[in-house]
Amino acid sequence: MPPSSPPEGSLFGGVFGRGRVAAEVGDRAFLQAMLDAEAALARASAKAGLVPAEAAEAIAAACQAGRFDPAELGELAAAAGNPVVPLVRQLAERLPPEAAGHVHQGATSQDVLDTAAVLVARRALAPLLDDLGGAADACAGLAAAHRDTLMAGRTLLQQAVPVTFGLRAAGWLVGLDETRRRLAQVDRDELAVQLGGAAGTLAAFGDRGLVVLGDLAAELDLAEPTVPWHAVRVRPATLASALGTCAGVLAKLARDVALLAQTEVAEVREGGGPGRGGSSAMPHKRNPVAAVAVAACAARVPGLVATVLGAMAQEHERAVGGWHAEWEPQRDLLRLVGSAAAWSRELLEGLEVDPARMRANLDATGGLPMAEAAVAALAGPLGGRRARELVDGAARRAAAGGRPLRDTLLEAPEVADQLGPAGVEAALDPARYLGSAQALIDRALAAHG
């Protein structure tokens, strides 16, 4: 199976399940994670002397997703309200009696399902973090390569003052690094095992509850929580939030790319593989498919984060629906952000940049984006207010008449006197009005490390 294909492919998987994350959050992967939780529980209980070692090993050996049918379990789940109950029953049925009685011993369904969800998150975050890292590396490459590539800075979609494309890429880079760092922190600190038994006291483990809890965490290489978190859902909310922020960063860069790739702007375009971005009806088009896909994935994320946050008001020791409401959205969040990260990496690694067009667009309005620079150049000799008045007038005349700002500026005697043609030329050179752009790019690259 190629890396871009979800193992449980779906009709819209090309857009929403790209990359390697989808495979980690599918039904089969989730089922395996539930079985891994049961196996680890059996082993931890054996270590604590609560389950015979052979029974634990027999249980662990039977915990293979291939032996179970997710759809059947899903259907059976209707009776109890979750798929752990039928899974435990089927698992026990596949074991000799002396092991069967020890399956799931001391635990409740939520312990297994929550721990499985955490394992799924851990396994999904690995490729996600990798793709974010690849995307950030590509951004760093763009920032370095285009540190001097002049481009119009644009505010409210209007050309403002010059920037460089490298600075834009540096902004993306910092966002990617910040969100990647946070996700890595969540991966390390917040992915904790859940074990509490029927109501969080670990009562069915007698006086060995905390020992089993600790060993279970060690067994699965997950964090050990201070107390069971079955109904205090800081951890799922924290993961969802970090994914939400990540989606926002990816959405920002995708929107920038789609805007820069517009026919009328044409400053970048996505690298094309065979057939990439073609239109069935319009042979000449090169659609920004990756940017579209990232935008589509990301647009779905805030609503899912809100769902997870809204589900936190969970009743007593187990919620009436709030807990259940997390199951699919958390997987959707991983899948969508994973897909957006994979698409973003492709997009950034293959991005074709057209510095000449960037320069042409910057010059297309005859120097208007340099008006602020002209004010600055004239403010010394003439004072800020007068400088502003003169430049405002020249800019208005330039815009109205479609003439270069250079010419309308020189029409003003004060300007001609103070700066002369060469001085105006210099004042209007965008390469001289980049402020701290180079230093900011350096800071971004240094922080990327």
What element of type H or E holds 152?
strand 150-155
- Residue 42 is given by DSSP the state H
- Residue 155 is given by DSSP the state E
Binding residues among 395-434 for a second copy as defined by CB under 8 A: 395-396, 398-399, 405, 433-434
**By CB under 8 A, residue 10 contacts a second copy:** yes
Q: Is-catalytic flag, 344?
A: no
User: Residue from 40, 220, 294, 427 that binds a second copy (CB under 8 A)?
Assistant: 294
Report the residue number, 130 or 363, with the smaller CB distance to a second copy: 363
Could you identify the residue written with the tokens 């997987």?
331
Find the shortest distance in angstroms from Cβ 389 to a second copy.
Answer: 9
* Residue 315 in tokens: 């009743």
d(CA 388, CA 385): 5
Report the residue number, 27 or 137, with the smaller CB distance to a second copy: 27
Q: Is-catalytic flag, 279?
A: yes
**By CB under 8 A, residue 202 contacts a second copy:** yes
Backbone angles phi, psi at 400, to 5 degrees: -65, -40
Coil, helix or strand at residue 246? helix
d(CA 19, CA 35): 25
- Catalytic residue, candidates 168, 208, 235, 318: 318
d(CA 329, CA 127): 19
**Which residues neighbour 174 within 8 Å (Cβ) at sequence distance 6 or greater?**
444, 447
User: Residue from 134, 166, 338, 369 that binds a second copy (CB under 8 A)?
Assistant: 369
The CA-based diameter of the chain, rounded to the nearest angstrom, is: 102
Number of residues forming the site for a second copy (CB under 8 A): 193
**By CB under 8 A, residue 170 contacts a second copy:** yes
Find the shortest distance in angstroms from Cβ 133 to a second copy.
Answer: 16
Binding residues among 239-258 for a second copy as defined by CB under 8 A: 241-242, 244-245, 247-249, 251-252, 254-256, 258
Over the window 50 to 69, marking each residue x when it contacts a second copy by CB under 8 A and - when it does not, the resulting string is: --------------------
Binding residues among 85-114 for a second copy as defined by CB under 8 A: 85, 88, 97, 101-102, 104-105, 107-109
With the C-alpha atoms ordered 202, 205, 207, 212, is the resulting torsion angle positive or negative? negative
Binding residues among 302-361 for a second copy as defined by CB under 8 A: 302-307, 309-325, 327-329, 361
**Which residues neighbour 188 within 8 Å (Cβ) at sequence distance 6 or greater?**
223
User: Residue from 293, 337, 347, 378 that binds a second copy (CB under 8 A)?
Assistant: 293
Cross-strand partners of 154: 159
**By CB under 8 A, residue 171 contacts a second copy:** yes
Distances 8 to 12, 27, 146, 304 between C-alpha atoms, Å: 11, 8, 40, 22
Between strands 158-164 and 150-155, the pairing is: antiparallel
Piece in contact with a second copy (CB under 8 A), picked from 39-47, 134-142, 176-184, 414-422: 176-184
Piece in contact with a second copy (CB under 8 A), picked from 123-131, 158-166, 214-222, 418-426: 158-166
- Residue 203 is given by DSSP the state G
Report the residue number, 220 or 358, with the smaller CB distance to a second copy: 358
Find the shortest distance in angstroms from Cβ 221 to a second copy.
Answer: 21
- Known catalytic residues are 279, 318
